Amino acid sequence: MTPLLEVTDVQISYRPRRGLLSRLVRALRSDTTEPVPAVRDASFTINPGETVALVGESGSGKTTLARSIAGLIQPQRGSLRFDGDDITRPVHRRPPELLRHIQYVFQNPASSLNPRRKVRYSLGRTLDVFFKLSGAERRDRMAELLASVHLDPGYIDRYPPQLSGGEAQRVAIAQALAAEPKLILCDEVLSALDVSVQDNILELLRELQAERDVAYLFIAHDLAVVRWLADRVVVLYHGRIVEQGTVEEIFTPPHHPYTALLLDSIPGKGEHQTSALTEDASTVGTAPDAGCAFEPRCQHRIAGVCEVDDPPRLHDSPTHDVLCHLSAEQRVSLQSGSAAAAATSGVPSQEIS
């Protein structure tokens, strides 16, 4: 199958923010501090009608990568291709047809819904940008869009502040669907919602995908949600893709040690596992200059290797790769847990020498 989206060796960097005084000091000292990479050498694909989940903790680079696909951030290196065409350029230089086919649903619907305008404005604006419809056609289309996300046509005359969180997110999804896209970037669309509402939105996304064959890049930090929705999973840590594969491969050992930690943090697995992700939280924001970025937090680091040498990308299967010094055999011996449970069991901290 020809990929719908191809992300190849993408690197995105940010220069640290500084105040006026800091900038003056930097200029006087001829400070040439390099920009901080937020995403490094990211490569993955999304096929038509497929859901690829992008997972990782806050600050891992998930949203930065999604915004580059949307054209909101320009990569410094690498390429983005959509339907075979190079789209490695900012949104204002992209043709309208491309803008139509890639839509973004934000974590907070307030980011895309004008609180001072009725729902009819939000839906109608998208229709007006991409389609030439008569007044009657426009009204009928808006009613169809609301029905597709299980909202009564009467919602068209409501203001966003009159909507619940779940209703506002449904309107945001309808607004994205109005463009008839091929790919929707879903950026933490569940994190601000109650658990019961999350289930309804997930079911809605699956229903819409089955009806419209739309592809999703689904950004999340909850692997339990990802397992239910995604076809493939890409795990990001400090801007590096440390593991990617099918859902079955990601949830069945051997994992990357960071993926194992994410799996251990799934609620309901017990107090020991739930705390595993937070016990070394002080190291989350700092990546070493050399070696493996996850080495300071890794329970299975190889002394004299992981802190010095960049890890190789190991291909456990044609669809599953891991960025790690540990071979698949070593990871199997260190990680326990059944494939049916789809999670690790919390092995004791140890260092390999």
- pLDDT tens for 269-317 read 544 343 344 434 334 455 666 899 999 999 899 999 999 999 999 999 9
- Stretch (H or E) spanning 128: helix 119-130
CA distances from 221 to 53, 187, 210, 256, 283 (A): 9, 10, 24, 16, 18
Tokens matching residue 131:
């389609």
Sheet holding 183-187, edge to edge: 102-105, 183-187, 215-220, 51-55, 232-237, 240-246, 320-323, 313-317
CA-wise closest residue to 150 among 169, 168, 170: 170
Output 222 or 49, whichever has higher pLDDT.
Answer: 49
pLDDT of residue 16: 61
Tokens matching residue 67:
């915004």
CA-wise closest residue to 113 among 58, 52, 155: 155
18-32, 251-265, 335-349: which is most confident: 251-265
- pLDDT tens for 182-197 read 999 999 999 888 888 9
CA distances from 183 to 162, 186, 218, 262 (A): 29, 10, 10, 27
Output 27 or 314, whichever has higher pLDDT.
Answer: 314
Name the pairing type of β-strands 51-55 and 232-237. Answer: parallel
pLDDT of residue 351: 47
Residue with tokens 């990569």: 75
CA distances from 53 to 159, 191, 294, 336 (A): 32, 14, 20, 24
pLDDT of residue 185: 98
Percent of the chain at pLDDT > 70 equals 83
pLDDT > 50? residue 324: yes
- pLDDT tens for 233-282 read 999 999 999 999 999 999 998 999 999 999 988 876 544 343 344 434 33
pLDDT of residue 279: 37
pLDDT of residue 177: 97
Residue with tokens 């799996």: 263
Output 112 or 84, whichever has higher pLDDT.
Answer: 84
Tokens matching residue 71:
């054209």
| Domains delineated in the chain | 5-216 (3.40.50.300), 252-334 (no CATH)
Tokens matching residue 8:
């190849």
